[in-house]
Copies of this chain bind each other. A is one copy, B any other.
Amino acid sequence: MTQFLHADRLFPAAEPARSIARDLYPAVKDLPLVSPHGHTDPSWFANNQRFADPAALFLTPDHYVLRMLRSRGLSYDDLGVPRKDGKPVADPRTAWRLFAANYHLFAGTPSRLWVDHSLQFAFGIDTQLSSATADAIYDQIAARLGDPDLLPRAILDRANVEVIATTEFALDPLTHHQSMLGQGLIGRVRTTYRPDDVTDPSRAAIVQNLQKLGELTGEDTANWAGLINAHRQRRQTFRRFGAVATDHGVPTAMTADLPLVEKQALLDKVLAGKHDAAEAELFRAQMLTEMALLSVEDGMVMQIHAGSRRNTDPLTFGERGPDMGADIPGPTDYVGGLRALLGRCGNEPNLRIIMFVLDETNYARELAPMAGYWPSLLVGPPWWFHDSPQGIRRYLDQVLETAGFYNLAGFNDDTRALLSIPARHDVWRREVCGFLAHWVGEHRLSKSSALEIARHLSYQAAKDAYKIA
């Protein structure tokens, strides 16, 4: 398949852009990694235990990989993905062999880039995964997993991760972060406040969750002011564990700014379990505005991840729960969506919102024009299916001319796979260098300006966007 990790990979193939990209890349290649948004497991860093086996590291937690194998007819049982009913699934080595035998399916996908890079970065492996090499590579990985340089914190060191944020729900006890606080790790590792568990009435447990939020904070969450106070408190608690940001996973970017009496009536309905889908949407919409107002108070950066239609396969959801690859994007309306929020507090100096989309039509039509006007808005990096080489090219093509380079939030790896972090940042940095190289070649930027921008987008932009000192 590919020449394994060629030094010039992803750079423009034609001159003069290739040479320019080669000149830019060394300046960003080794900058520390800033990972301000992601889904790594905080217990890894708190406990620093070895990973169980190669499949647990590369296969079963990676829904990008799983979904592709499934799409070609392989079953999640055969791939060793745990079931809710506890019925047996394939053992790690058997699942790994299936993965290896079908590795050709990943040709041209970012998963392929990330896995190859991870194998080499962590284990020095530079032979191609395939049926022929499956067992040897499995053994090679398994033999190394207990080595000190492969424990989670050592990986952060080897990957030069300066800061990494995890993501926890509002009700999370933050046990691992408490442990990390005691170990002096908070600051390098940070939590993020993601209150979807108490802001989304479409969740089955919403009533109990709102009650728990009240118990946790001593506030009356059946009362609107009490509910907001409870959030205010939890945000403060999260900040003790390094949180600089909140995160909101919402089906749409809709916001609302209702009078208090209507907000209370809406809350009453949710607590009574009598809301319909439109009222659930309105509740989420109002809560986004409330979160913005709290950000105006406390300065936390607000991330809006809008537009995923979650769990579209009821069969898989029933068998194995969420995050199994069946979330599919939908069209998103950011301009209409944020109107209420921005009308209320869009010009507040302390507000910062980072906008993420899965609907690329938003880039040029909405996100770039909005970020190019509102001081509170930044364009988030390409997200989920789109932090791939072509995805990054489409993103840069479509946002830069209207938003400029300085209304971008840098890069997020947004991953659950620890080893893919250096791989993903490397793809971003290579693509940024390649993109700038084209523009230098067209005499639209000087090379010195491109160098400065490449460094900014590779490192400082993320720190600035997330207010990380």
Contacts and interface: CB of A to CB of B under 8 A. Distances in A.
B11 A68 contact: no
A372 B106 CA distance: 11
B349 A442 contact: no
A88 interface: no
A51 interface: no
B371 A365 contact: no
Contacts of A372: 67-68, 71, 325
A2 B314 CA distance: 54
Contact of A401 (B3, B109, B325): B109
Contact of A313 (B316, B374, B404): B374
16 contacts: A2-B449, A8-B443, A10-B444, A13-B17, A71-B371, A71-B375, A71-B377, A104-B406, A108-B404, A313-B373, A315-B346, A329-B369, A364-B385, A364-B386, A364-B394, A388-B402
Interface stretch (A182-190, A224-232, A334-342): A334-342
A322 interface: no
A442 B386 CA distance: 19
A330 B331 contact: no
B11 A14 contact: no
A385 B397 CA distance: 13
A155 B315 CA distance: 49
In the A-B complex, the 4 residue pairs with the closest CB atoms: A13-B441, A6-B443, A14-B14, A9-B443
Nearest to A401: B388
A242 interface: no
Nearest to A375: B73
Nearest to A453: B107
A244 interface: no
Nearest to A335: B328
B16 A439 contact: no
Interface in A353-391: 358-361, 364-366, 368-375, 377, 385-386, 388-391
A415 interface: no
B107 A405 contact: yes
A66 to B, nearest CB: 9
B9 A444 contact: yes
Given A328-B370, A347-B313, A366-B328, A108 B445 contact: yes
Contact of A108 (B309, B316, B328, B405): B405
A105 interface: yes
Given A313-B347, A369-B329, A109 B402 contact: yes
A125 interface: no
A107 B113 CA distance: 31
Interface in A392-422: 394, 397-398, 400-407
B108 A315 contact: no
A331 to B, nearest CB: 7
Contacts of A13: 14, 16-17, 438, 441-442
Contacts of A104: 406, 449
A373 B330 CA distance: 15
Nearest to A15: B14
A312 B336 CA distance: 9
